[in-house]
Structure 1
Amino acid sequence: MPCSLLKPGDDRLSVDLRRTRDGRMALLVYSALDRLVKCCGDQQPWTVMPATDLEAIRLDTQYEIVFLDLEIPDEFRRRSGEE
């Protein structure tokens, strides 16, 4: 799952959410690490979470839709040194 640190030096993570064209908040989920790297780039921080945690994440973040193995366009991918 794409993520980032809440702030430098913090060990807590924040899952990456994306806004859809119709305004909904989407959670991006990848079925394997090779798919995450292919779809998000090799600079994307990530974490592994069990599917059973998705409801807790939904309650915390209020995401409305899940996208599986969605390819992120190059211009929206993280670059080296970006959080």
Structure 2
Amino acid sequence: MIDTKYLLKHEFIGLNIEIISSKNPSLIGMNGKIIDETKFTFKIKTQYGIKKIIKNQVKMLIKINNNKIEIDGNKLIGRAEERLKK
């Protein structure tokens, strides 16, 4: 189980997300499962296929432990292993 207090330091692959705000309006409302992560992007498996999301252009809801947590993508810039060191 992932403790929401330390969410920014955890692996995001496998978590469900929903885009709630974006510089690109067509992304708002997109939801799916994170299947890959790079320093600047997430790949999300949606009902319409695989989409690449630029982290610093979105705010998202991460669905975890029956909770929805709002996260600004700017806080997620960097690889998972880099976030662990912060």
Q: What TM-score do the two structures reach when normalised by structure 2?
A: 0.29
Between the two structures, name the one with larger relative contact order (CA 8 Å, sep ≥ 6): 1
Q: Which has the larger radius of gyration?
A: 1
Structure with the higher fraction of residues in strand conformation: 2
